[in-house]
Structure 1
Amino acid sequence: MDAPDLSRVQLHVVSGKGGTGKSTVAAALALALASEGRHVLVCEVEGRQGIARMFDVDPLPYAERRIATGLTGDGTPGTVHALHIDPEAALLEYLALYYRLGRAGRALDRFGVIEFATTIAPGVRDVLLTGKVYEAVQRNSRNKGAQQYDAVVLDAPPTGRITQFLNVSDELAGLAKVGPVRTQADTMMTLFRSPRTAVHLVTVLEEMPVQETADGIAQLRAAGLPVGAVVVNRVRPRDLDEDHLAAALAGRLDRQVLAADLEAGGVLPTPSLLDGLVTEAHDHAERRALEDAQRALVADFGLPSVELPRLPGGVDLGGLYDLAATLKEQGLG
């Protein structure tokens, strides 16, 4: 597929099945976007402080903090700021900005009213979380002196909940048909359904994550939400060429050639070692065949897709920059 056209996108929503590495992809995408002087905010809403751990900084408060410098491009690199969005703190800020209930809002928090409201009405909780993201994209005069961002990246809930999370207007239908909260939800939907937003879905080349990605795409499209790119994460290196893979899968590897290679490397080619290598090669070829079948299904989605390699040492800050560079090379950044 062609590289994704992100020229109009300001809000990048990153979702994926749990365990596929969506938070890692969100962090790497923020670094990729923060190049050549661009300033990016990466937000998380699930309370896990994953962004802080990946960037090796202290746990994030409900405040925008600069945590990294973006990729070095042709010009001066930009910055990455981060925000951990808490629904109770978001409601207090909402009350202060729109109703000037600073001290009164804090009193409500002490009485537990805010926790009660966000617990019995999950739709309200999502409005608060997405509302803060919306405010970061669409800064206005109510939030004077706030940092202006060229892009916002949201480390969003998993694929199974992403449509419900973003489709706040429908989620509030049974709770608030009129009033300021409903008005805010409807206003946010104009952004979420516009070309200024893209929902990127992260998967790995396994059956369940790919199927959940397909289901997520269908649900997002049914709700009128724009799907961006599919990010195939943790792709294994191609250690064998196609001919050797076919031979390994069919159990036709030449043991004499294997033995000669081992001897050339100073290793004694015992029968048990050769048996083990043949079995391991067969398992590798079988796994690769399954991965190729899933890659074909991803291609059938008809969406731009990018691939990120599996990092053998795990993902540290240096690894994040490597992944960011790969995303940028493939047009996602």
Structure 2
Amino acid sequence: MSTSDKAKVRLHVVTGKGGTGKSTVAAALALALASTGKRVLLCEVEGRQGIAQMFDVPPLPYEERRIATGLLGANGETPGEVHALHIDAESAFLEYLAMYYKLGRAGRALDRFGVIEFATTIAPGVRDVLLTGKVFEAAKTERRKGTSSKDRLGYDAIVLDAPPTGRITQFLNVNGELAGLAKVGPVKAQADTVMTLFRSPQTAVHLVTVLEEMPVQETADGIAELRAAHLPVGGVIVNLVRPRDLSSETLASITDDTVDRSAVAARLREVGVAADDAVVDGLLAEARDHAERRALEDSQRALVAGMGTATYELPRIAGGVDLGALYELAGMLREQGLA
């Protein structure tokens, strides 16, 4: 994606195989975008209240809430804000009924009887239309320059923490999902409208992976499916990258078993470690495991590089990810040019 194409993107959809840290990356990307002065909305649709946990705020209701500000700009620019929205299908359905069928109090009665949960369960395509429709509503209003901050403004950018890679094309391709359910009517019209955004230059789908065989293969498959559905692929974010503490030459000597054991023992003694044969053997065994891991990661990195997309890398954060770590990751994404 070129620099001019990036400038057009307002909706950043973040997906990835489970366990790759896609929600963490989505949160970091929202902070990175806010660091450029943008007013950003971070949305989630999977019902886990992950945003509230990451930002250490109370569980989010079905309404937009300000949760953070971006990093101070590199040139001292005033940072923007990050707002959050937890979207659930039942609340979206009630809003939809009130908007199109004027069913306010009656809609809430249906919810009490479980009708809404039943409807969205037997017709998952409708559920996805409701979830994506809410994202579209948030995205369709441009920020109005000069408007009082007390007024409700649109957003400069929206980050959607989306379903996993295996379901992302189905989730975004709401027209295809509705083909056998609704030929006409408000639901079909809403799906058509949503697709105009999802297939436009204003949208980019970013895929999060780690340097392991299954996630990388699923990323490649996801990119192929998105392109086949004419949905715009953004970049691949390689997450949880381990530090590269050993040089290629050292790794090669470990793999070839040509390491000078006496030199290793001498170095251990220099730092006050007893260097008997058992200690040296254990250390070299750990080194071989590390060399094998690095070789696997390098092979997977080469596959990612051949996917025809921009790539970004984020390190594994020692001690886990808290709010401070999210800001650290946001800074890295900004430096690499994703925001």
User: Aligned equivalents of 1:284 and 1:315: distance in 2?
Assistant: 23
Corresponding residue for residue 121 of structure 1: 123
| Residues 33-81 of structure 1: per-residue CA shift (max 9 Å, x gap) | 0124311011111111111111111111111111111121031111111
Q: Which runs of 5+ in 1 are unaligned?
A: none
Q: How many residues align?
A: 329
Does the CA contact (< 8 Å) of 2:239 and 2:313 recur in 1? yes
Q: Which residue of 2 aligns with 1:104?
A: 106
1:17 aligns with 2:17: yes
Q: 1 CA distance for matches of 2:95 and 2:183? A: 23
Structure 2: how far apart are the matches of 1:4 and 1:294?
29
1:258 corresponds in structure 2 to: 264
Cα distance per residue 1:14-49 (max 9 Å; x no partner): 000010000000000000001243110111111111
Counterparts of 1:243 and 1:271 in 2: how far apart (Å)? 24
Distance in 2 of aligned mates of 1:295 and 1:3: 23
Q: Which residue matches 2:95?
A: 93
The whole-number CA distance in structure 2 between the counterparts of 1:42 and 1:135 is 14
Unaligned runs of 5+ in 2: 143-150
* Pick aligned residue for 2:281 from 275, 279, 290: 275
Hey, what's the Cα distance between the residues in 1 that align with 2:153 and 2:48? 24
Alpha-carbon distance, 1:5 to partner: 4.4
Give the aligned residue type for 1:119. T
What secondary structure does 1:6 align onto?
Answer: helix
Contact 2:126/2:178 (CA < 8 Å) preserved in 1?
A: yes
CA separation of 1:168/1:58 partners in 2, compared to 1, >3 Å: closer, same or farther?
Answer: same
Q: Which residue of 2 aligns with 1:46?
A: 46
Matches of 2:2 and 2:105, distance apart in 1: 53
Letter in 2 for 1:137: A
Note if contact 2:68-2:83 (Cα within 8 Å) is conserved in structure 1. Answer: yes
Residues 123-171 of structure 1: CA deviation (Å, up to 9, x unaligned): 000000000001110139xxxx643111010000000000000000110
The CA deviation at 1:309 is 0.4
Written as runs of structure 1 = structure 2, the 5 A alignment for 1:153-164 is 153-164=159-170
TM-score (norm 2): 0.94
Q: Aligned residue for 1:188?
A: 194
The whole-number CA distance in structure 1 between the counterparts of 2:227 and 2:174 is: 15
Distance change (3 Å), C-alpha of 1:93 and 1:147: farther
Alignment partners' CA distance in 1, 2:141 and 2:89: 19
Query: Given the alignment, which residue of 238, 246, 266 partners 1:232?
Result: 238
* In 1, Cα distance between equivalents of 2:25 and 2:127: 25
1:98 deviates by 3.2
Distance verdict in 2 for CA 1:36–1:2, change over 3 Å: closer
Q: 4+ runs of 1 displaced by more than 4 Å?
A: 1-5
CA contact (8 A) 1:4 1:332 kept: no
TM-score (structure 1 length as normaliser): 0.96
1:295 is aligned to 2:295: no
Aligned to 2:139: 137
Pick from 288, 292, 297 the counterpart of residue 286 of structure 1: 292
What residue number does 1:312 align with?
318
Distance 2:203 2:216 in 1: 22
Whether contact under 8 Å (2:89, 2:131) holds in the other structure is yes
Give the superposition deviation at 1:2: 7.5
Could you say what secondary structure the match of 2:31 adopts? helix
**1:332 paired residue number:** 338
Q: Structure 1 vs Structure 2: percent identity of aligned residues?
A: 73
CA RMSD of aligned residues (A): 1.5
Query: For the Cα contact (< 8 Å) 1:199–1:227, is it kept in 2?
Result: yes
Deviation at 1:249, TM superposition (A): 1.3
- Partner residue, 2:148: none
Q: Quick one: distance in 2 between partners of 1:135 and 1:206?
A: 37
